[in-house]
Homo-oligomer: A and B are copies of this chain.
Amino acid sequence: MSGGTALTELNASTNRNTTLETVAREAGVSIKSVSRVLNGEAFVSEKMRDKVNHAIAKLEFKPNMAARQLRGQRSYSLALVYEPPASEFLTGVLEGVLPECRKASYKLLLEPLGATESRSHILRMIQSRAADGYILLPPLSEDKSLIDAIVKANCAVVLVASSVDIDQLNYPVSKVGIDDFAAGRSLGHYFIERGHRRIGYIGLRAQHLTANRRGEGLKSAMQDASIPLDNLSIFDGTATFESGVAAAQTLLSKERRPTVVFAGNDYMAAGVISCAVAMGLTIPEDLSITGFDGADLSEMFVPPFMTVKQPLKEYGEWAAKRLLSALANPKQEGIQDTLPFTLIPRNSVKNLNQK
């Protein structure tokens, strides 16, 4: 007898195949009513809602996603497309995306897409509707052909840190980022206020247009201070430590080398520091340096270096929320949002005014 009870409890707790029908029986209503309550549909009486919710809670019922997918022709998953190798940028965004997906019972698909890799795989995945919505990280968020393919497949997209003008696209594409021009300008003013006049700028690769905007902002700050643009040396990197080293090698061996270098991301800034130290320079006595993104690296480094923090987690959160809401109620217009960046001053930038 007590054995029977135990067994019942066991069955209840191991919610093996608890289905709509189980719940319906428990609540003494029809399957469809349970479905209605579950999906928050209108035209359901309070009483019904209560009964059903009670049964759901009691049985610890969780809807079967596979059945939903099959029936609804949706995958209930988002895809995060990034260019490997995985960096702190990716993991930062993930911190925002994952909780939102979890809340909405959506899955997240990670889709690394190498710069030189064939795109046939991702195109097939898009066409096969493996995901309902896509988040594109830079530099992929600049890739019009990719965006095109996704939109053509009738899926939602959010561009992260992209310079693509979504108003010109007649598609419902959304995007989130910071004001790169302003960030570059702030940094420029920061340098200039501290007496710097010769500035080096190492951008990301050419496709990475948001980084170019930062360069424009920097120029604008220099113009404000009537500093001739000859004093600006521009290089292109590829977002890696190695490219930071390479750029620094040329940049720092110039006759009149810059007093401060603004690197397009924190990995490149680390590369510049490595190179500078190898050349016998001291940071910040002989050279000031700033990175970008706000990676933990910048804080752990010796010396810790100045950087501009992009709200990565917030990007992820915004993107996931946006996608989810667009999926929940389609035919929304594309929107864009500009989130605040944060200058993180550190001693890697010397104040030349103070002796």
Contact = CB atoms under 8 A, between A and B. Distances in A.
Interface of A: 14-15, 60, 62, 64-67, 69-70, 75, 77, 84-87, 90-91, 94-95, 98, 102, 107-110, 112, 121, 124, 127-128, 130, 241, 267, 270-271, 273-274, 277, 296-297, 299-304
A128 B62 contact: yes
Contacts of A110: 94, 98, 108, 110
Contact of A121 (B95, B102, B124, B274): B102
Nearest to A64: B70
A228 to B, nearest CB: 33
Contact of A91 (B70, B86, B108, B128): B86
B14 A127 contact: yes
A154 to B, nearest CB: 11
A248 to B, nearest CB: 12
A75 B66 contact: yes
Contact of A277 (B69, B95, B241, B302): B302
Contacts of A267: 300
A59 to B, nearest CB: 12
User: Which 5 residue pairs across A and B have the least CB separation, nearest first?
Assistant: A66-B69, A86-B91, A66-B70, A270-B300, A241-B300
A109 B77 CA distance: 11
Nearest to A277: B302
